[in-house]
Amino acid sequence: MKYHKLRIAWSVVWGIAYLLLIAGASEVPSVIEFKNEVIRLPYFLLVALSAAAVAVPWLRWRFSLRTLLIATTLVAVGLGWIVYANRN
């Protein structure tokens, strides 16, 4: 348990965000404006993402360098596809 206190702090911060999203769901904006573009996000997506962020540090993931390189390549291809789609 090398980073036990950091895991606890991470879980507490995201747990508080999770509870605030649930408690004030009607007051939390679901619209994000970025450079004159509006992104609409449903509340359950924000709640699910914050709940997932609470659990992430407690999962024990063991993976090899090959798995890391494959994941990095897939992320790069995905981001490249998004840029290509936005330019056309």
Residue-wise pLDDT for 29-79, tens only, equals 566 666 777 766 676 777 777 777 777 777 777 778 898 899 899 999 999
> pTM of the predicted model, to two decimals?
0.41
Rounded Cα distance, 34 and 40, in Å: 11
Q: What is the pLDDT of residues 12-24, one digit of tens each?
A: 887 787 777 666 6
What is residue 38's three-state secondary structure? Answer: strand
72 contacts 40 by C-beta, under 8 angstroms: no
**Separation CA 42–CA 30 (nearest Å):** 6
Please name the residue that has the structure tokens 């348990």. 1
CA dist 82 and 86 (Å) reads: 6
Note the pLDDT of residue 86: 81
Buried b (16+ CB within 10 A) or exposed e, 44-75: eebbeebeebbeebeeeeeeeeeeeeeeeeee
